Structure 1
Amino acid sequence: MSVVDSMSEGDTENKDQSNGGDFICGVVEGFYGRPWTADQRRDLFSRMRKLGMNTYLYAPKDELKHRAEWRLLYTSEETELLQSLISSAKHHGITFVYALSPGIDIVYSNEKEVKAVEEKLDQVRSMGCDAFALLFDDIEISMSDQDKKKFPSFVMAQLTVANTVYEYLKCPQFYFCPTEYCESRASPSLEESDYLSTLGKKLLKNIHILWTGPRVVSRYITVDHVRRVAAALKRKPVIWDNLHANDYDPKRVFLGPFAGRSVMIKEEISGIFLNPNCRYEANFVPFHTIAEWNSCHADAELEEGTESDAILEAGGVAPVAAHIVKNASPKRLYHPLRALDESVKKWLEHFSDSISSTVPPMAALYAVQRQLRTALAGGGAFGEVILGSCRLTVRE
C-alpha cells in the first residue's frame, strides 16, 4: 500500500456538520516549496469528501504560473492536467478554488494587466472551474508612478482590480487575500488601519476576505478576535489557518491536533482553510482533527489522569471511551486530545514496522502520540520528538 493510499482508505464519512452547508471548511495548498502531485491532490479530494470538508484552494506559491509567471497562460498539456484535477474535485463534491497571485509585479492602472488577469482566470474557467481568488499577500506595499496617478492608495488599486475581475467573471464564489492579512501586519492597528477600513467599505460585499489571525502563524484565534476582524472588514472573514504550516522550517513537521480555536468561532467566520505541512503524507492528524472540529457543536473539557494515560504509557492507543468528558451533552463536543487519540489510532492501523523507512514505524508514532498528548495536557506551548532528520512538533 502506498502512503497516499494509506491516507484515504478507512476514513469514515463525517456528515454531521453543525454549521450547515454554507460554511466553508477545507484545505489550502498555499505554502512555499514543492507543490503536491496530481495524485496527492486527487487523494486529498477523496479524503475531504469522506471527512465532510467541502473546498480546496489551489495556491501553491512555487507553481510558476500561479505567482512568478502569473501572466502566462497554461499550455495544452498543463490545461489537461489542471482540468482533470478540477473534474476530480467536482466528482467528490469539492469546490475547486483557483487562486492567482499577481501582486508581485502587476501594474494596477494598466488595462492590459487587468485584462491579463481576466484572460488567465477565463482560461481556468473554461476548464470547469467556477470559484476563484486573487491573492496580494507577501508583497511590497508600493505602487508605480503610473499607479499613483490613478489611485489614491495601494488598497484602492488592489480592490479596484478585484472588483473589476469579479464582475467580469459574473460574480462567482470569490476570495481576496489582503496585504495586511493578520493583525500583526495591520498598520497601525487592526481598528485604525486605513487599508483594512477601505477594503471593508469598498470591496464588493460578496467577496470573501482571507485572514490568518493575530499573526501569520496564530497559536490562538479567539471569538473576540474574529469579531474585531469582522467589524473592520464589514463581513465575516474566512480564516487561512497556518497552524500546521512548516514551509519556513521544512524539517519541523507539525503532527498535533487542530487546537487553539474554539468551536464557537464558527459563528463569527464564513469558513476556514487549513494550510498544512508541505509533505502531504504528514497531514493525516491535521486533516482528521480539523474535520472533527468542524463537525462539533461546542468545546469539551476532558478529565485527565484516566486509564488512557496508562494505555499510552504501555505503548498503546488510548480509546476515546477512556476519556471522561465534563459537562457531557447530546451535542458533539470537541477536544484536541480526544481528536488526537482517535486520528492517530486510525493512522496507525495502516502502518507496521515492515513498511519502508520513509514511513514512520508504529513504535515511533506511538512515541509521537505520547509526547504530543503530554505536551498538550501539561499546558506546554509545544512538544517535539526527533524522528530521523525531522522534528515532529505540536503547537498549541
Structure 2
Amino acid sequence: MAETSDAQHPSQRSSPVLSDKSAGGGSADSASGGQQTGFICGVVEGFYGRPWTTEQRKDLFRKLKQWGMDSYIYAPKDDYKHRAYWRELYTVEEADHLTGLITAAHEQNINFYYALSPGLDITYSSSKEIAILKRKLDQVSQFGCKAFALLFDDIEPEMSKSDKEVFQSFAYAQVSVTNEIYNHLNCPRFLFCPTQYCSSRAVPTVKQSEYLNTLGSKLIQSIDIMWTGPKVISKLLTVECIQEITEVIKRPPVIWDNLHANDYDQKRVFLGPYSGRSPELIPLLRGVVTNPNCEFHANAIAIQTLAFWSKCSADTKISSSISSDIKLETENEEGICQEDAPAFLSENVYHPRLALKNAIANWLPEFYQEKEAWGPISKPQPALTSKCDQI
C-alpha cells in the first residue's frame, strides 16, 4: 500500500449517482455474527517486495505474543497468489506451508488474517468470478484460517462494461462482493481495505466521498474498514481526522499504519519509535496494524513501540517527532535527551523517546545470539504458468 506517493497515484473519479440497487448481501444495519471484540493490534505484511520467510513469520508470531499483540495479516503484494494470480488455488506443497503458518500463529494466540487482493482484474458482476473467489477462500479456511480480508487498495477505480450494467457505482460493486463473501464464510473476523483508503485519496473529500459514504451505509457493520489516515504515510493522526472518517464509514477504523514502511524507498530503513499518534486515539479506533520495513530484522523497534503505545491511555503532550536538530549537549551518557526521556513515567503514559530506549534495550541481546540463516536462499517465486479462469 505504501509503494507510491499520493502524487503518483492514478487519478480518482467521482462515482455515478447512487441508488439502492445491487448493494448485495444486506445493509450495514442487517449484520450479525463476526464475534469481533477487543482492540486489534499487530502487523500487516502488506508491502511491495520480497515477502518474509516462513521462519521469520514464525519468529514474528512468538514476538507478537511476547509483546502482548494479537494479530497478523498475510498480505504480501508480491505473493502471486495473493494478488496477481488470486484465482489460483494453492498446490499441495503450498497448502502444507500455509497450514503450518496458520497453526504456528494460533499456537501463539495470534489471529491470522488471510488477505486476498482481487481488485486488479475481477469482474464484480460475474457469478463465475464470485464462485472462484469463494473457492479460494474456502480452501484457505480448510487450512484452519478463521479470519479474512479483502483488499481493494492501489487499483484503478473503474468497472468493466458488464459491471456498469449491474452496479451503479464502484463502491456498490465492492460492497456486493464483500458482503456476499463475508456471509458465505459464516461471518468470521473480516477486514476490508477500500480503494480510497486515506483522506488524500478521498474524492472529492472524506465527508463528500460517495464511495466512502456507500461503504458506511451498505457494508455489513461487523466488517472492519482499514484506513491509513490523512495520507498514505501519515506523519500525524489526530482525534479530528479519526472522528471524521468514523462518521462517514459509520464504524471505528482499523489503522493500516505505514509510518515505518519503506517499500517506496528501500535505500532507507526506519528505526524510530511509534510516534505522532496519541494513545487518546485508542478508544476511537477498532485497532492498529503496522506495515513496517521490508527488512524483517529492522522492525523490532517499530513493532515493539506500537505494543507499548497500545497499552497506554495518555501521552506527555510533548512533540513525539525525533529530528536531527535535537541539541546534543542535553543528552545524557546513554544518548537520551533529558527533557525528551523522563526517568519515570506512569505505566499508562506513552513517551516515544522512552519507548525507543526500552525497545533498544530489549533488542540488543539478539545481536549476541548465534542463529542459523533464515532458511535457504532462493530466487523469488516465478510467475505461474497455468492459465487463470477468465470471463
TM-score computed with the length of structure 1 as normaliser: 0.79
What per-residue deviation string (whole Å, max 9, x for no partner) do you get for residues 263-319 of structure 1? 011111100100000000000110110010011121125799999822135xxx789
Letter aligned with residue 180 of structure 1: Q
Higher helix content, 1 or 2: 1
**Post-superposition offset of 1:68:** 0.2
Compare the two structures and name the one with the higher strand fraction: 1
Question: What's the offset of the Cα at 1:320?
Answer: 12
The equivalent position to 1:338 in structure 2, one of 354, 360, 363, is: 354
Give matches, 1:101-250, under 5 Å. Answer: 101-250=117-266
- CA distance in structure 2 between the aligned counterparts of 1:33 and 1:189, rounded to whole angstroms: 31
| Partner of residue 342, structure 2 | 323
Q: Secondary structure at the match of 1:283?
A: helix
Distance 1:84 1:21 in 2: 26
Specify the alignment match of 2:52 in structure 1.
36
Residue 258 of structure 1 deviates from its aligned partner by 0.2
> Offset at 1:41?
0.3
Partner Cα distance (1:72, 1:210) in 2: 25
Counterpart code for 2:332 = A
* Preserved contact between residue 29 and residue 57 of structure 1 (Cα < 8 Å): yes
How far has the Cα of 1:89 moved from its partner?
0.3
Separation in 1 of the partners of 2:348 and 2:158?
48
Contact residue 341 and residue 354 of structure 2 kept, 8 A? no
| Equivalent of residue 80 in structure 1, options 96, 100, 108 | 96
* Range with greater deviation from structure 2 (83-92 or 339-348): 339-348
CA contact (8 A) 1:101 1:134 kept: yes
- Identify the match of residue 62 of structure 2 among 46, 54, 70: 46
The one-letter code matched in structure 1 to 2:218 is: K
Q: Is the 8 A contact 1:28 1:57 kept in 2?
A: yes
With normalisation by structure 2, the TM-score equals 0.80
Structure 2 SS opposite 1:98: strand
Other-structure match for 1:364: none
Superposition CA RMSD, Å: 2.5
Partners of 1:55 and 1:244 lie apart in 2 by: 18
The answer as to 2:107 corresponding to 1:91 is yes
The answer for the alignment partner of 1:4 in structure 2 is none
- In structure 2, the residue matched to 1:266 is 282
Mapped to 1, the partners of 2:221 and 2:264 lie a distance apart of 33
Name stretches of at least 5 consecutive residues in structure 1 with no aligned partner.
1-19, 359-396
Aligned 8 A contact 1:320 1:341 in 2: no
Q: Which moved more, 1:103-112 or 1:304-313?
A: 304-313
Deviations 1:104-126 (A, max 9, x none): 00000000101111110000000
Contact 2:255 2:288 in 1 (8 A): yes
Asked whether 1:294 is paired with 2:310, we answer yes
Aligned equivalents of 1:301 and 1:147: distance in 2? 50
Is 1:310 the counterpart of 2:332? The answer is yes
**Quick check: 2:189–2:223 contact (8 Å CA) kept in 1?**
yes
Q: Secondary structure at the match of 2:269?
A: strand
1:283 aligned onto 2:299: yes
From 52, 77, 83, the counterpart of 1:61: 77
8 Å Cα contact 2:341-2:351 kept in structure 1: no
Distance 2:71 2:100 in 1: 16
Contact 1:246–1:252 (8 Å) recurs in 2: yes
Separation of aligned partners in 1, 2:235 and 2:204: 22
